[in-house]
């Protein structure tokens, strides 16, 4: 996890512009470099490093003696870099996983390169020989990337929008900043004056398609067909592999543990594999909640079952409310459910950074989207409609859950790893017949639970524990986090403010006082940038007025049971 920043064709003084790059210093607390491009005095790269792989030679932009015309700034992890290196017999100059991007590009061009990368990434690749700039981002947008481009060809790119919003350019008083779409790469021509022109924007991968790099990986052969035992066996193989490949790091590994199905499966499998690798440190798991939090109790049970060194962080409503402003600044969004769920994750990440030396943190993000884990999937009109919704959620992950997961951890210099969004695992799961993936017997993610039924990885009651949203599970059922927040904002936003909400915020007008309050905080940090969020996250197929699962009838009936 790092912070990348680059400018092409800047009209302003670069030493002034580079101050913007310091806005993302939290993403790379270990080192910083600012480098001009030879022959282009108005083009430069900025890089903040979190040293996770190759502590000695991992600084960026990456330059190799073999390719003096290539410059690479990337944020991410390429898990198959050693496999690719050996298969194509590339000669490496460093031990950095991202070096593979330069070799693959030299061998086969940008499209073949990006399709061969098994991992999460956002990158800026400059080729001064062919006068081209390339931008690329992973399938689900696990690693963030923002860009700003003017009509006269000034281009600015950054891991987070906050590194771009204060930039100045002669032709526009307000630089339009937007997220770079996941699963895409862009080709731009570099002109002699350092400015650029977009040539094409290409979608290179659909989440349901098996990725091209699958041809070269070392996963044991999957069995064909959709017989249930075959499918379960294949899923176990792919999930194990998804975690194994993510052990690639020189730093200590830990895991978020909410006590729900997803994080529990990740933590249990991860610990098993760390033991097999004979890692010398104790494996740490981390949970957060208020008094009487069901998440804390469940996480404790899992930690005892698997034998991790477990850390519990207690926080009260006042601490959570006080964190809202810095959370929204870190997130760069005002989406209601994202803000709610981010507070606990932000405070937990803060604790990990301050009190431990765990830096690479695993998490269960992405499972609900891949495996249809949200409670409202019970209301899907058909398996095909549920499949469509699952793919829509995955397409929008970069606006919601992976945005939350990245920003709350990156704010404290941690690197997040999300095995449920592994290319091989997710594409296989999404290729299964739609009727296999829907909730069964009133239980969501039935196939995933059934897959690990006989594994004894986690306690049976946790394996079959109903879905609990992270923002709800951190508090007791009697006094949910969303209720605490709503009671607080009741005194911050009055009826008169709500009456003029549509005039003040014509785009994505907040419908509730809580939404209004978050929007106010957002506008204070990022005025006029509301279009970063295209729409609010909300359950489908039901007349929901609030995104919390605890407001749904299905949750209430399950809670009574």
- By three-state DSSP, how is residue 274 classified? helix
In DSSP terms, which residues pair with 291 in a beta bridge?
none
- 403 phi and psi, to 5 degrees? -65, -50
Please identify which of the residues 2, 73, 158, 207 carries the catalytic annotation: 2
> Whose CA is closest to 481, among 320, 284, 294, 251?
320
In DSSP terms, which residues pair with 252 in a beta bridge?
358
Specify the DSSP element, H or E, that contains 78. Answer: strand 67-78
Active site residue 255: no
Specify the DSSP element, H or E, that contains 284. Answer: strand 284-289
> Whose CA is closest to 78, among 56, 44, 105?
105
Specify the DSSP element, H or E, that contains 198. Answer: strand 196-203
Q: How many Å apart are CA 450 and CA 443, to the nearest integer?
A: 11
SS (H, E, C) 98-161: CHHHHHHHHHHHHHHHHHCCCEEEEEEEEECCCCEEEEEECCCCCCCCEEEECCCCCEEEECCH
> Whose CA is closest to 78, among 55, 61, 103?
103
Rg (alpha carbons) of the chain, rounded to whole number = 23
CB 537 within 8 A of CB 369: no
CB 319 within 8 A of CB 326: no
CB 43 within 8 A of CB 7: yes
Q: Report DSSP letters for 328-368, one per residue.
A: HHHHT---HHHHHHHHHHHHHHHHHHHH--EEEEE--TTHH
Q: Which are the catalytic amino acids?
A: 2
């Amino acid at each position: 996890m790092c912070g990348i920043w680059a400018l092409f064709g800047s009209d302003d003084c670069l030493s002034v512009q580079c101050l913007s790059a310091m806005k993302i210093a939290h993403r790379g607390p270990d080192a910083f470099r600012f480098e001009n491009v030879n022959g282009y005095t108005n083009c430069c790269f900025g890089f903040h490093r979190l040293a996770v792989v190759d502590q000695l030679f991992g600084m960026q932009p990456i330059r190799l003696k073999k390719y003096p015309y290539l410059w690479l700034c990337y944020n991410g992890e390429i898990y198959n870099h050693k496999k690719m290196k050996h298969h194509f017999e590339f000669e490496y100059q460093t031990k950095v996983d991202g070096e593979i991007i330069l070799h693959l590009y030299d061998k086969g061009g940008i499209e073949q390169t990006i399709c061969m990368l098994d991992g999460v990434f956002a990158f800026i690749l400059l080729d001064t020989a062919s006068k081209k700039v390339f931008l690329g981002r992973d399938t689900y947008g696990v690693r963030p990337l923002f860009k700003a481009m003017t009509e006269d060809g000034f281009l600015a790119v950054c891991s987070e929008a906050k590194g771009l919003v204060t930039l100045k350019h002669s032709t526009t008083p307000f630089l339009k900043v937007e997220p770079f779409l996941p699963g895409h790469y862009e080709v731009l021509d570099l002109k002699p004056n350092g400015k650029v022109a977009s040539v094409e924007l290409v979608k290179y991968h659909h989440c349901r398609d098996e990725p091209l790099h699958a041809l070269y990986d070392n996963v044991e052969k999957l069995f064909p067909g959709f017989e249930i035992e075959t499918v379960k066996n294949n899923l176990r193989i792919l999930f194990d592999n998804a975690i194994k490949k993510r052990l690639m790091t020189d730093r200590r590994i830990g895991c978020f543990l909410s006590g729900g199905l997803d994080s529990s499966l990740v933590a249990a499998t991860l610990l098993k594999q760390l033991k097999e690798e004979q890692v010398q440190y104790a494996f740490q798991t981390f949970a957060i909640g208020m008094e009487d939090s069901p998440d804390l109790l469940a996480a404790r049970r899992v930690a005892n079952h698997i034998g991790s060194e477990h850390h519990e962080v207690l926080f009260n409503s006042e601490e959570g409310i006080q964190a809202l402003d810095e959370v929204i600044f870190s997130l760069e969004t005002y989406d209601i459910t994202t803000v709610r769920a981010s507070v606990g994750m932000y405070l937990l990440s803060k604790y990990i950074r301050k009190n431990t030396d765990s830096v690479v943190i695993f998490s269960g993000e992405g499972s609900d989207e891949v495996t249809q884990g949200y409670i409202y999937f019970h209301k899907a009109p058909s398996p095909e409609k549920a499949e469509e919704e699952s793919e829509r959620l995955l397409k929008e992950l970069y606006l919601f859950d992976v945005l939350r997961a990245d920003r709350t951890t990156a704010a404290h210099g941690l690197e997040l790893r999300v095995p449920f969004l592994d290319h091989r695992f997710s594409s296989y799961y999404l290729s299964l017949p739609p009727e296999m993936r829907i909730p069964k017997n009133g239980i969501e993610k039935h196939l995933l639970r059934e897959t690990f039924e006989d594994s004894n990885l986690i306690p049976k009651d946790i394996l079959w524990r109903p879905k609990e949203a992270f923002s709800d599970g951190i508090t007791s059922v009697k006094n949910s986090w969303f209720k605490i927040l709503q009671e607080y904002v009741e005194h911050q936003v009055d009826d008169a403010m709500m009456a003029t909400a549509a005039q003040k915020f014509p785009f994505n007008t907040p419908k509730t006082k809580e939404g209004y309050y978050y929007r106010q905080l957002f506008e204070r940090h990022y005025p006029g940038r509301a279009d970063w969020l295209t729409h609010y996250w909300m359950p489908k197929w039901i007349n929901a007025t609030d995104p919390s699962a605890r407001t749904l009838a299905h949750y209430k009936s399950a809670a009574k049971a």
